[in-house]
Amino acid sequence: MIHEHFHLLLLVICSCSWAASAYGADNDFLHCLSQQSHNYSSFSTVVYTHVNSSYTSVLQFSIRNLRFESESTPKPQVIITPRHESQIPPVIYCARQSSWEIRTRSGGHDFEGLSYVSQLPFVIVDLIGLSDIKVDVEEKTAWVEAGATIGSLYYRIAEKSPVLGFPAGFCPTVGVGGHFSGGGYGTMLRKYGLAADNVVDARIVDVEGRILDRKSMGEDLFWAIRGGGGASFGVITAWKVQLVDVPEIVTAFTVVKTLEQNATQLVHRWQYVASKLDQKLYIGVTMIMVDATFQAIFWLHFLGSVEEMLPMLQESFPELGVVREDCSEMSWIQSVVYFSSAPFRPSSPEQPPEFLLDRTLFVAPNAKVKSDYVQKPIPESGLEGIVRLLNEAGGEGAMVYTIPYGGRMAEISGSTTPFPHRAGILYKLACIVSWLGDEARDSDMYMSWSRRYYRYMAPYVSRNPREAYLNYRDLDIGVNNVGGKTSYAEASVWGKKYFKSNFDRLVRVKTVVDPHDFFRNEQSIPPLLSRYNIKKGTKMHASETVDGDVLSLIM
């Protein structure tokens, strides 16, 4: 029956001569799947090719950057939406047999489209069907499949307990797969660190099609996927996370200041305060133009009551002038709703938490993002330059925002996970420019503005290397060998920015678990010896080199 079903499928595909000629390789891939799958009749319900009427809607559903939704954007030969992790090994095997790349997508919040665009023939493994969440209140843990959103994770936690939470991101439609594997930050990072810091187990399908957990994958690979980007090492199907304690009452507020209200002076003062506040207190800033008026929006999240928070703030940051009437007390899950539109505008905490389950909330514009880390306060003159940039053509679509560090972020060693931006960082600085126009001149203007902003910020941010956040991937930085394999030397240009000295350890892990560089994209971790099958424990002489790669790294 399996083969009869497959032959019927092929007959339908081949009935159109143009489809047979254009997508002949698809047939080879599908035939391979039929041979590898124990129950292809059920497997075929999660396979989408160009001749499927729902192919385009499945492809577009999770795209969150319209720059990669144009007709000229390369499209996958096949999309797979597995319903069980056991359906992934045949896809890996058949992609290798077909010399196709795999791009893994869990939510689509991907600023460079690397999870759903490739210049080579490729298949998308879209994990949207793997979205189960199991919360264990007694153990204070949760298993969450990689295609679930962080909004659904928050909702399922709050459904079970009002005093448990998880320190991940703002936007509820972000998929946990990419979010956790790149770090993942939110309003509780100063108290509990990143999402990746609170991962205690995971399941991954490796290049050989083996389904591994923490014990079977080993501590090196487990280290690598918690901040090093999972797509370089395999297909992560699920994470086990440690939940954290939250009080029954938390406090939030948003205060807006204009230039006439000393906005730049307040942002300047904020730099000296935010990283030194109590770990339970988070204050971020968004700088933006609204109707040609500069605004500095101060966001506060406090794990406790207004009465506990106000004395702290009035002592440390009285210049902000916050009074009790500015603040709102709410439950933790209500604060998640409140911050779900950050760093744009607050949502109403009165909105029912069920809206966190909606994957379609985010309106996708064209977007480009830049990220930096600030180690010394930017002088007022530097902040005034940001205001001038926001007033230029293209700046009206931009937003510059900060994520305060200190607290727990300064206590965790920079080598505990691949995410290295820890002690010595005052705050993360990011700029996203977005636009709705689809004409080339619109894109050129906004992209040019983004790059001009990045050049302007160089004197004020970290250097040697100029650090960047992996989850805000930026193909402008470093050398990207599009459509081919990237050498260690090429990749280290951007790799050191994302990972600093942790990059070399990531390369060693990659060389062991995926020596032929099957799992790759324009900014994936490269193996040192893609031509050799390096096994764990292999010893090399420090003098040996291949294509200029220093083999002493894998000793």
Q: State the DSSP H helix or E strand holding residue 78, giving kind and residue range, or none if neither.
A: strand 78-80
Residue 143: beta bridge partners?
134, 240
Q: What span, in angstroms and rounded, lies between the C-alpha atoms of 280 and 304? A: 8
Annotated active-site residue in 453, 472, 488, 498: 472
Helix, strand, coil % in the chain, rounded to nearest 5: 40, 20, 40
Cα 465 to Cα 457: distance, rounded to the nearest angstrom: 14
Q: Is the dihedral of CA 61, 67, 68, 69 positive or negative?
A: positive
User: How far apart are alpha carbons 152 and 131 in whole angstroms?
Assistant: 9
Residue with tokens 């014990």, as numbered in its chain: 215
CA distance 376 to 311: 27
Distance CA 371, CA 432 (A): 9
Report in angstroms the alpha-carbon separations of 478 from 474, 494, 496.
9, 5, 10
* Dist. CA 18–CA 41, nearest whole Å: 25
Residues paired with 319 in a beta bridge: none
Cα within 13 Å of Cα(209), Cβ side: 14
For the question of residue 472 being annotated catalytic, the response is: yes
500 close to 467: Cβ distance less than 8 angstroms: yes
Burial 533-544 (b: 16+ CB within 10 A, else e): ebeeeeebeeee
Neighbours of 404 (CB within 10 A): 26
Q: Are 508 and 232 in contact (CB under 8 A)?
A: no
Q: Which residue has the tokens 């200041």?
A: 257
Q: Which residues contact 119 (CB under 8 A, 6 or more apart)?
A: 74, 482, 483
The phi and psi torsions of 75 (rounded to 5 degrees) equal: -110, 150
The residues pairing with 47 across neighbouring beta strands, listed in sequence order, are 80
How many angstroms separate the CA atoms of 59 and 177, rounded? 17
Residue indicated by tokens 């007390």: 329
Classify 102 as helix, strand or coil: strand
What values do phi and psi take at 325, rounded to 5?
A: -65, -20
What six digits make up the tokens of 509?
Answer: 């892990």
The set of catalytic residues is 472
